[in-house]
Amino acid sequence: MTARGGPPPRRAAGAEVRRYAVLTICSMSLFMTYLDSTALNVALPTIHRDLHANVADLQWVADAYLLVLASLLMLSGSIGDRFGRRRAFSTGLVLFTVGSALCSVAPSVGTLIGFRMAQAVGGCLLIPASLSIIRQVFTDPAERARAIGVWSAIFGLGVATGPIIGGALVSGAGWRSIFWVNIPVGAVTWYATRKTVPESSVAGRRALDPAGQVLMIAGFASITYALIEGPSSGWGSGAILATFTVGGASLAAFVLVERRQKEPLVEAHFFRSPPFAAATVIAVASFLALAGFLFVNTLYLQDVRGDSAFLAGVSILPTTACVALCGLVGGRLVGRFGPRVPLVLSGAGIVAGGSLLLGLSPGTSPQRLIAAYVLLGCGFGLVNPPITHTAVTGMPPERAGVASAISSVTRQVGNVLGVAVMGSMIGAASLGSSRLRGTAALRFTADSHLAWAVLVGCGAVCLLTALAFTGRWGVRAAARVYQDEPRAAVAATVVPAPAPPAATS
């Protein structure tokens, strides 16, 4: 017998198995993208030697993906809501898998950059659609919370294991192998999606904002190009100055256009909330630091110290493991003390770890590097949970989805800037066809000191911003900002996702 009004046990068990199969599929797609991301970090020096790439080329290999992600993440969420989340998710899997296959056979650095952009279009669809599907399938609030927790934990797993798995693949089979592994995983996940994941969409959908989208892409792309190409072309050259001008004008026009849109891509009114503005600044600064650290440190370990790709992956394990562990700690600290405590600790960790790298040399002791990596890992790990919490603090519930979506985009903006800004500071160093020695190694580490100073500055920005804007007065100010706002429901276009480390997907 079954309880009156309840489903038969076999049917209920089957539904539960189906729900967790959907969770596994969505989590697997996330793990695939983040594993690819962190594996790419340790592959960069090998790509440099194999494809005869310079520092700017390596920056584009990393930033091409991140730039597309930052530009299209808001739009991709609304595409899933409009045309169907399973359809968007399946399309994302196809694009990411095909993009990975193309990356694995890229004959030149230019084609690799183009194929990375194709990968990114798939990633844009995967990230918001996967969590939207989970939210749709798990209707019980307690089960949904646990499912989202599992989905989020995949970020930490990908970050922690990616460098070692990537290092082993690169050392054993070359850099192309980090893209090969995505092909069977993507194909199996796509097939399982077609058989298991239900279709869903949203009735009340946000209007598209093509003008805002075009201006956002033009602004981000122009400024990124100028930052990456500036060291080789000359910061005062006409081309670089013109590109900076185009980027600045595009972003200024974006602000003007968004203020006049009924349903803008980015709601400018959000930035009147001190906690939201603080979350934006901290997200950009912290992920700029993380992105730049991973990019510059990877080159340092392999090209200056002579580590293999696998050893470099093992060397940064103190950072990646602390990112994963402190992400869990950060969530608990937010629940107990609010966002200020973990944000302050995060900024302090980044400052302390970056300070240990300021005097970096080819012979810096392993003990000093490990201490720096641990402190930086703790700082980067603690920052993610309170950013999303701070972004939605004091907002009406119907605005929280869009606000957290914008917070996700600002993380990607930080990633893009980190690779572009800190990478450009070592652009003057000549990377040879093999390990740097003598004067070349000294020149690289001397150039990197300015990058580490930027990292320390980013940590200080996080620390001071958290102290100034995340207290009780900030919450009250946010409540005042939204007290007189229209209460019309705003559909969430993108759900917050942990941003991938820079020089990554």
Indicate if 199 and 331 belong to the same structural domain. yes
Residue 395 lies in a domain: yes
Number of structural domains the chain divides into: 2
Q: What is the pLDDT of residue 462?
A: 95
For residues 56 and 112, state if they share a domain.
yes
Q: Out of 61-75, 288-302, 443-457, 480-494, which region has the weakest mean confidence (pLDDT)?
A: 480-494
Determine the longest span between alpha carbons in the chain, in angstroms.
Answer: 81
What does the pLDDT average to over 390-400?
62
In a domain, 298, yes or no: yes
Same domain, 117 and 178: yes
Tell me, letter by letter, the H, E, C secondary structure of 47-111.
Answer: HHHHCCCCHHHHHHHHHHHHHHHHHHHHHHHHHHHHHCHHHHHHHHHHHHHHHHHHHHCCCCHHH
Q: Residue 305 pLDDT > 70, yes or no? A: yes
**pLDDT value of position 202:** 62
Worst-scoring range by mean pLDDT, 19-33, 126-140, 440-454?
Answer: 126-140
Same domain for 85 and 174, yes or no, is: yes
Does some domain include residue 501?
no
* Banded model confidence at residue 76, pLDDT cuts 50, 70, 90: confident
Per-residue confidence band for 267, with pLDDT thresholds at 50, 70 and 90? confident
pLDDT in tens, 1-54: 445 555 566 666 667 788 888 888 888 888 888 788 788 888 999 998 899 888
Instruction: Give the model confidence (pLDDT) of 216-256 as tens digits.
Output: 889 989 999 998 888 878 888 889 999 999 999 999 998 88
Is position 102 within any domain? yes
Q: Are residues 217 and 324 in the same domain?
A: no
Domain match, 181 and 216 both: no
Same domain? 452 vs 331? yes
Per the domain annotation, does 246 fall within a domain? yes
Q: Are residues 244 and 385 in the same domain?
A: no
Which amino acid is residue 479, in one-letter code?
A
Same-domain pairing of 245 and 296:
no
pLDDT, residue 5, reads 54
Residues 6+ apart with CB under 8 A from 204: 489, 491
Average pLDDT, rounded, for the chain: 82
**Of 323 and 427, which is predicted with more confidence?**
323
Per-residue pLDDT, 377: 94
Q: Is residue 275 part of a domain?
A: yes
Which CATH number fits the domain that encloses residue 87? 1.20.1250.20
Asked if residue 490 is part of any domain, the answer here is no
* pLDDT classification of 433: cutoffs 50, 70, 90: low
Confidence of residue 127 (pLDDT cuts 50, 70, 90): confident
pLDDT of residue 424: 87
What is the percentage of the chain residues whose pLDDT exceeds 70? 84
Residue 417 predicted with pLDDT over 70? yes
User: Which pLDDT band holds residue 497 (cuts at 50, 70, 90)?
Assistant: very low
Domain span at residue 128 reads 16-209+261-483
Asked, for residue 504, whether it belongs to a domain, the answer is no
Question: What does pTM read for this prediction?
Answer: 0.84
Domain boundary among 226, 260, 294: 260
Q: What is the pLDDT of residues 189-215, one digit of tens each?
A: 999 998 888 887 665 566 677 888 889
pLDDT of residue 336: 83
> What's the token pair of residue 405?
């979506």
CA distance to 350, 354, 398, per residue, from 159 (Å): 18, 20, 32
> Does the pLDDT at position 387 exceed 60?
yes
Q: Are residues 353 and 265 in the same domain?
A: yes
How far is residue 403's CA from residue 134's CA, in Å, rounded to a whole number?
20
Contacts 24+ apart (CB under 8 A), 100-106: 100/36, 100/179, 100/180, 100/182, 100/183, 100/186, 101/179, 101/182, 101/183, 103/176, 103/179, 104/176, 104/177, 104/179, 104/180, 104/183, 105/176, 106/51
Contact 265, 209 (CB under 8 A): yes
Q: Are residues 97 and 244 in the same domain?
A: no
Q: Average pLDDT of 90-103?
A: 94
Q: Do 218 and 351 share a domain, yes or no?
A: no
Look at residues 219, 238, 260 and tell me which one is the last residue of a structural domain: 260
Whether 165 shows a pLDDT value over 70: the answer reads yes
Total number of residues shown for the chain:
505
